[in-house]
Structures are given as structure tokens and as C-alpha cells.
């Protein structure tokens, strides 16, 4: 006996998810041209300039390490607005394009 099934199997739908990385380095530029990396700067990512300027709807945040660096992974937007804050150095703003499957490097200079 042979059994044959004509049942239609469901088709799997695969949707691509945008995924990018941002690596931020925060440092103070000295008058002699040397760089001093800033540990403990709060770096925040926003989808819009208005949100960043108002401090609303933050997407991600992180603190810089002893090399002044913080990384953000699996980012789903094409563009981010960045705010860096430090109690001794103040606040700086940047923005960056984040194409799919890329690493974007951002320097924030105090």
C-alpha cells in the first residue's frame, strides 16, 4: 500500500532585518594635538534630531570604557543622531549614516 498526500505545505517567508553597528570613540583633543580618551561618557542614540535635542525616545545608550569607546550592535535604522554627555566635559552632538551590514565609526571630540 502506498499513501500519497496532496496537502499543500505552507511557504516560509523570510524577511530581511537591517543590522548595522556603530563604534563611538570619545576623547579630548589637547592643544599639542594629543588625544585623551574619556572614560564614563554617556553616549545615547536617537532616531531623530528633534528627539535627541529634547532628550526623548532614546533608542540605545552606553558608557565609554577606558579607551573612550562604546559600541552599539544590531541597529535597525539607516541613520542615527548621537548625544555624548560627561559631567566634566559637557555635551556634544553627532550623527551618522548606518548602511545595512556595516560598521560606522564616529569620533566625538571635546
**In terms of DSSP H, where are the helices of the chain?**
49-54
Q: Of 28, 23, 22, 24, which is closest to residue 109 (Cα–Cα)?
A: 28
The DSSP 8-state label assigned to residue 100 in this structure reads: T
Domains of the chain: 20-109 (2.60.40.10)
Instruction: Output the pLDDT for position 16.
Output: 75
Q: Which residues of the chain have pLDDT under 50?
A: none
pTM metric for this prediction: 0.85
Q: What is the pLDDT of residues 52-82, one digit of tens each?
A: 999 999 999 999 999 999 999 999 999 999 9
* DSSP β-ladder status, 42-46 and 60-63: antiparallel
Query: In Å, what is the CA distance from 47 to each residue of 41, 56, 97, 110?
Result: 20, 10, 11, 23
Q: What is the pLDDT of residue 37?
A: 98
Element (H, E) at 45: strand 42-46
Amino acid at each position: 500500500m502506498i499513501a500519497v498526500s496532496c496537502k499543500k505545505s505552507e511557504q516560509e517567508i523570510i524577511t530581511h532585518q537591517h543590522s548595522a553597528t556603530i563604534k563611538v570613540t570619545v576623547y579630548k583633543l589637547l592643544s599639542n594635538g594629543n588625544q585623551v580618551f574619556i572614560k564614563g561618557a554617556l553616549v545615547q542614540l536617537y532616531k531623530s534630531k528633534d528627539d535627541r535635542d529634547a532628550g526623548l525616545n532614546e533608542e540605545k545608550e552606553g558608557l565609554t570604557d577606558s579607551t573612550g569607546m562604546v559600541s552599539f550592535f544590531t541597529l535597525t535604522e539607516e541613520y542615527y543622531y548621537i548625544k555624548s554627555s560627561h559631567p566634566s566635559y559637557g555635551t556634544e552632538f553627532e550623527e551618522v549614516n548606518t548602511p545595512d551590514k556595516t560598521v560606522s565609526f564616529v569620533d566625538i571630540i571635546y
